Structure 1
């Protein structure tokens, strides 16, 4: 399993920040932070590309924010079967789909440095 990360906003856009940058993209009722690559800035408009949109696009500079990637604790479920096999699942629903010869399900939660005691 690889380490998951999320973007954390650390302030408004500044040209000195080396990235990553984030832009708020309204999707349904919630606002998501998506990673943006800034290619040029002119007269308050940024020319960017993002992971979630095909091709480059323009946005107002006021929508662009400096960000940093921060780790997100992983959570997963391990089914242990009679006979010794173990299988890892991303959700409890997935783990419960495979009950044949199940010995137990173990819920695992990663503790990141600086969390807990």
Structure 2
């Protein structure tokens, strides 16, 4: 599993911030500004539009802690499968029988406390 990230707002739009930027909660690219107007676009789209700079926010990428459920052998510790939800892991566990158990794993990020 790879480390996931999300965008966190760090303040109102400033031209000095290189990005990323958010507009209406979605990532946007700021191509230029004139007064309080900005020409922006979505990263996956080449169509731009005009927005008010007051509606654009500076953001930064922050890591998101991973959470998953592993099904392992109760007596031999053998790894069988990894799931993104307890419901899916529980279903697999029911099929596997009494010789397996489900272990809930939650990543602790630096500075996040224990």
TM-score range, shorter chain: 0.7 to 0.9
Match of 2:113 among 106, 112, 116: 116
TM-score, normalised to structure 2, is 0.80
Give the match's secondary structure for 2:95: coil
Work out which of the two has the higher radius of gyration on C-alpha atoms and give 1 or 2. Answer: 2
Q: From the two aligned structures, give the one with the greater helix fraction.
A: 2
Structure 1 runs of 4+ off > 4 angstroms? Answer: 51-54
Give the match's secondary structure for 1:96: helix
Report the aligned-residue RMSD. 2.3
Structure 1, unmatched stretches of 5+, are: 25-32
Give the 3 Å change call, closer, same or farther, for CA 75–64 of structure 1 in structure 2.
Answer: same
Structure 2, unmatched stretches of 5+, are: none
Aligned to 1:40: 32
Task: Report the CA distance between 1:15 and its aligned residue.
Answer: 0.7
Count of residues paired in the alignment: 109
